[in-house]
Structures are given as structure tokens and as C-alpha cells.
Amino acid sequence: MTGKSEEEMKQNGISLHPLDVAAGPEPELLCIFGTGDLGRSLGLRLLQSGYGVVYGSRRPNSCGPLPQGAQVMTHAEAAQSSNLIFICVHREHYEFLATMEHHLKGKVLVDLSNNLKKGMYPEANAVYMQRLVPSAAVVKGLNTLSAWALQNELLAGKQVFLCGESGEAKQAVAHLATKLGLTVLDKGSLSAARELEDFPLKLFPEWRLPLSIAVGLSAFFFFYLLIRDVIYAYVEKKNDISYRIMVALANKVFPIVALVMLSLCYLPGAIAAFFQLYRGTKYRRFPNWLDRWMLCRKQMGLVALGFAVLHAIYTFIIPIRYSFRHKLISGVVDENNKTTPSYFDNTEAWGTDSFISLGILGFFLFVLLGLTSLPSVGGYLSWREFNFIQSKLGHLTLFICTAHGYIYGWNKFLRPSTYKWYTPPGYMLCLIVPSVVLVLKLLLLLPCVDHTKLNELQHMQGVGGKTHCFCLLPGWLSGWLPASSPGQRSV
């Protein structure tokens, strides 16, 4: 190639580097102490993100397989190669850090350790590390990431927490975490390290209240129906129907719990509305019990959907039960022995078809609500679309499911035989809460004096866990509530 042609290619911006030689800058080198599952998974993820990785190990020649492209050295050699070091070893092995403090001076040490239980040590792991290496800047963070999540690239949008005494050190770690696709929340100084170390030990914290309510309701209605149906039949009629416990009794409990849990998703919104209507402002915090209740409505709805699915499955298997087939065959035999045909009850036919139709429609809307509450689905909806489904269709679902229950017992409410041992059946009890929710919703949506259209209650999570919604106050209600602005209240 002539000098002229080379000059022309340079002027045209064409690289003259050979294809097998890297033209870009060297990747930033990061250090990881520890070659266990977490250390290897973190190194793999960093390599895939364009970083260079060097491992520090006590036995660099026999530390097992490492990600391709990573280097392995002694701890002292690895520490000299990077200013940012991830500590992926257990707390009981921290003592070696004190012996190499002169190598770690001015370095940023990221503590990813967790404990097996709360209060295992008198001080947080990160605080202990900072005490061992006072000349380094210790940052507690990324400890909520598992090796499995790192290997399977399940990091996009996941929130991680950081805390430390050095703002510059936390900024460096936050920048790296952002490049990995993580969302970073700064929790302040190392005094928050114990709180961060306790996060992975929490077992479904947002699901505890919904699951506790569901278990409590299930246990109550199971034993209530067991007494009314099975024990009553045995004591009063000497009839052993204990076989109904497995399917028939369970299939009564599931829809009851599903309907009550669904109504509990919308009851706190109505209570919050009246709280703010009475106070005349939306800027006062709700009571803690109401605030906690409102924050777990999504989980309550999903638990309710689970019980509704169980109800649907148990209903489908009814025809294959022995007791059902025996009753059906006995009915056919009795019908053949009759000399006169049985009377067709048109009202009963209407009631049965309406009951089934409302059940199917309510279950369909129930599933729709559950699907749109998932982040992967709800993320593609606008706020107006999401609010329409979760609020308007949600109350419609509650109304249809409640009507499904009323039609089930429309001709049984006044029968004395319905009240065994003077107790109401389970479906009557489960209709109380949804009926109250629908009545409260109706009160909030009654026509206004000065307005022709009411704003739908819009539940929005605000700063500090506050929940805000906005509606217009019905004129008949505005007379005895504190005034804020004419004809309007923030809910």
C-alpha cells in the first residue's frame, strides 16, 4: 500500500488497525475477592457488561473454574490492580483483610455478605469490615442479588440498596450498578448496614398480611361449614356425609374466601375516601393500619384470584365424583319409575342459568384484573387504561361476583331449613363485606348538586407510602363534612 493511499484512508476516517488487534481502550478492571458461586456469577455478569475482572484467592492455582476471560491472583496482587473491590466472602473470613490493609488503603470495598439469621453478630458485617480496614471506603450493597439472578440476567429494573460513609465511593458503586441495569437506592451511612443485611432474610413481607387474612378466613369458614353441614347431619339425622369434606366442603370455602378477599381490595379505598372527605384534605396521613392495608391490595387481589381458580377447578371435577354419579343415576332410576313426568320449573331454570353465567363472567373479569396487575402487562398500559381496568372493571367484577352469590341463595333466604342450628349458611356471611363495599361506593358516586359528572376514585401511590385519590363530593353529603373547596373533596 502506498503512502498516498494510506493518507487518503486516514482522511476518510478508515481504521488501519489489523482486524485481530483491539483498537478500543482497555476495559476497566474490577477486583473480586472470593471464587464461590456468588463471586463467579458476579464476575460473569461484569465481563458481559464490558468490564475486566481479576479474582483474588487464597489458592489461585486451585480455585476451580472461573468465567472465561477473568484472571486470578493472590489477594495482594489482585488488590493492586483495581480501585474497586467486591468482597464475596463470609464474615468469618474477614480477618485476612486486616493483614493487607496497606494494599487496601484508599480502595472501595463493596460488602455483599449476608447472615443466616437476624442478630447473628453484635454489629453489621460492613461496620466490622470498616473497623478492620479503616483506611478503605466500605460500601454495603448488592447483597440482595443472588447468584442465580446474576447468572440468568434477571437484573433489569431490580432495586438494590447502598449505604456507606463515603459519598464518592457510593457514587462509583451506583454508577456500576446502573450499567448492570439495576435501580439504586441510597440508604445513607453505614448505620443502615444491618437493615440492608436483614432484607434477604425477610420472607414475603408484602404478602404476610394478605396470606394471614386468607388463612384465617379459610380456617374459620372451613370449621364453620364443617359444623353446619357434616356434624349437623350426623347429630340430627344420623347421616354420615364426611366424604364431602375433601371436595364439596372445600368448594364452598374457596369462593367465599375469594369474594371476601376481593372486596377487601376495594374496602380500604372507600374508607380512605370517607377519611379524607371528613378531614377536608388529602395532605394528612392515613392511620398506619389503613396505610398498610392499602399498600397490600395487589397481593390481596392475587390471593383472591388464586382461590377463585381453585373454585373453578373444583367445580369442573364435580361430575367425576362417585357421590355425584351415584346421585345422578339414582335420580334417573326414580324418574323412570314415575307414572307422571316431572314438572319443569321455568323460574329455577332462569336462576340456574343466571347463576352460571354470572359466575363465568365474574371469573373472566377476575383473571383480567390479575393479569393487568402484573408488571409485565401493566407496564404497557397508560395510567388511564390501568385505572379503568383496576377501578371501574374491578368494581364491576365485585358487583357481578356478589350478584352470583345472591342468585345462588335467592330462594333459600326465607327457608327455616336453611338456618341449621339457627346459624346462617356460609354464602350469606360472605355477602356482607362485598355488599358494604358496593354501598359505600354507591354513596360516593351519587349525583352532585353542582356537577354532572363525578371523577372516578384514582388510587395513586405518593411519597412516603401515602395514597391519594380525587373525587367530587355528593351534594347531600357536603352539608355535614368539613369544607375545603365548593363541591369538591380530595380523596
The sign of the CA dihedral 363, 365, 368, 373 is negative
Task: Say how far apart CA 447 and CA 475 lie, in whole Å.
Answer: 7
Q: Tell me what pLDDT residue 204 has.
A: 79
Could you please report the per-residue DSSP string of 53-100? EEEE-SSTTSS----TT-EEE-HHHHHHT-SEEEE-S-GGGTHHHHHT
User: How many folded domains does the chain comprise?
Assistant: 2
Pairing between strand 29-33 and 84-87? Answer: parallel
Is this prediction's pTM over 0.85? no
Angle 397-399-401 (CA atoms, 0-180°, nearest 5)? Answer: 65
Asked if pLDDT for residue 465 goes beyond 60, the answer is no
pLDDT above 70 as % of the chain: 85
Is residue 284 within 8 A of residue 454, CB to CB? The reply is: no
Task: Say how far apart CA 398 and CA 349 lie, in whole Å.
Answer: 24
Q: Specify the DSSP class assigned to residue 476.
A: T
Q: Tell me what pLDDT residue 460 has.
A: 41
Q: Tell me what pLDDT residue 14 has.
A: 39
Residue 120: partners with Cβ closer than 8 Å, 6 or more residues away: none
Residue range 228-243: mean pLDDT, rounded: 91
Task: Say how far apart CA 486 and CA 406 lie, in whole Å.
Answer: 39
Q: Tell me what pLDDT residue 444 has.
A: 85
Unique residue bearing C-alpha cell 442465580: 148
- CATH code of 173's domain: 3.40.50.720
Distances 274 to 319, 339, 446, 478 between C-alpha atoms, Å: 47, 63, 14, 12
Domain match, 119 and 211 both: no
Asked if pLDDT for residue 478 goes beyond 60, the answer is no
Pseudo-torsion of CA 39, 45, 48, 50, nearest 10°?
-80
Task: Tell me how far apart the 2 most distant CA atoms of the chain are, in Å.
Answer: 115
Domain match, 65 and 111 both: yes
Asked if pLDDT for residue 245 goes beyond 70, the answer is yes
Q: Tell me what pLDDT residue 376 has.
A: 73
Asked if pLDDT for residue 383 goes beyond 70, the answer is yes
Domain match, 305 and 413 both: yes
Domain match, 50 and 178 both: yes
Task: Say how far apart CA 205 and CA 116 lie, in whole Å.
Answer: 17
Q: Tell me what pLDDT residue 21 has.
A: 44
- Domain housing 36: 29-201
Q: Tell me what pLDDT residue 24 has.
A: 55
Indicate the residue among 179, 201, 223 that finishes a domain: 201
Indicate the residue among 148, 176, 201 that finishes a domain: 201
Unique residue bearing C-alpha cell 481502550: 25
Radius of gyration (C-alpha) of the chain in whole angstroms: 33
How many CB atoms lie under 10 A from the CB of residue 267?
A: 21
Residue range 455-462: mean pLDDT, rounded: 40
Is residue 100 within 8 A of residue 83, CB to CB? The reply is: no
* Strand ranges, E, within 344-466: 460-461
Return the higher-pLDDT residue of 404 and 63: 404
Task: Say how far apart CA 402 and CA 418 lie, in whole Å.
Answer: 19
Per-residue pLDDT band at 393 (split at 50, 70, 90) = very high
Looking at mean pLDDT, say which of 25-29, 122-126, 335-339 comes out highest.
122-126
Residue 490 falls within a domain, yes or no?
A: no
Residue 87 falls within a domain, yes or no?
A: yes
459-463 own/partner pairs: CB under 8 Å, 24+ apart: 459/269, 459/294, 459/390, 459/391, 461/295
Asked if pLDDT for residue 310 goes beyond 90, the answer is yes
Q: Specify the DSSP class assigned to residue 393.
A: I
Domain match, 283 and 313 both: yes
Least confident among 66-70, 203-207, 400-404, 457-461:
457-461
Q: Tell me what pLDDT residue 303 has.
A: 95
Least confident among 298-312, 361-375, 408-422:
408-422
Asked if pLDDT for residue 456 goes beyond 60, the answer is no
Q: Tell me what pLDDT residue 231 has.
A: 94
Is residue 395 within 8 A of residue 441, CB to CB? The reply is: yes
Domain match, 185 and 318 both: no
pLDDT averaged over the chain? 83
Domain match, 177 and 238 both: no
Q: Tell me what pLDDT residue 92 has.
A: 92
Residue 20 falls within a domain, yes or no?
A: no
Domain match, 109 and 253 both: no
Nearest in space to 155 (alpha carbons), one of 181, 131, 129:
181
Task: Say how far apart CA 456 and CA 472 lie, in whole Å.
Answer: 9
Helix, strand, coil shares of the chain as percentages rounded to 5?
55, 10, 35
Domain match, 366 and 437 both: yes
Q: Tell me what pLDDT residue 447 has.
A: 61
The sign of the CA dihedral 63, 67, 69, 75 is negative
Per-residue pLDDT band at 467 (split at 50, 70, 90) = very low
Per-residue pLDDT band at 401 (split at 50, 70, 90) = very high
Distance of CA 78 to the CA centre of its chain: 41
Distance of CA 13 to the CA centre of its chain: 52
Residue 308 falls within a domain, yes or no?
A: yes
Asked if pLDDT for residue 462 goes beyond 80, the answer is no
The pLDDT tens digits for 123-179 are 999 999 999 999 999 999 999 998 888 888 667 778 899 999 999 999 999 999 999
Q: Tell me what pLDDT residue 483 has.
A: 38
Q: Tell me what pLDDT residue 291 has.
A: 87
The sign of the CA dihedral 39, 40, 41, 44 is positive
Indicate the residue among 161, 179, 201 that finishes a domain: 201
Task: Say how far apart CA 177 and CA 155 lie, in whole Å.
Answer: 10
Return the higher-pLDDT residue of 247 and 488: 247
Residue range 380-407: mean pLDDT, rounded: 90
Q: Tell me what pLDDT residue 458 has.
A: 39
Asked if pLDDT for residue 453 goes beyond 70, the answer is no
Domain match, 322 and 234 both: yes
Q: Tell me what pLDDT residue 7 has.
A: 46
Phi and psi based region of residue 67 (left: phi greater than 0; alpha: psi -120 to 50; beta: remaining): beta
CA neighbours closer than 13 Å in the CB half-sphere of residue 146: 7
Residue 298 main-chain phi, psi, to 5 deg: -60, -45
Domain match, 144 and 218 both: no
The pLDDT tens digits for 246-290 are 999 999 999 999 999 999 999 998 998 888 888 877 778 888 899
Per-residue pLDDT band at 205 (split at 50, 70, 90) = confident
How many CB atoms lie under 10 A from the CB of residue 330?
A: 10
How many CB atoms lie under 10 A from the CB of residue 177?
A: 20
Task: Say how far apart CA 258 and CA 253 lie, in whole Å.
Answer: 9
Domain match, 211 and 196 both: no
Q: For helices 288-295 and 297-316, what crossing angle results, to 10°?
A: 50
Residues constituting the chain: 491
pLDDT above 90 as % of the chain: 53
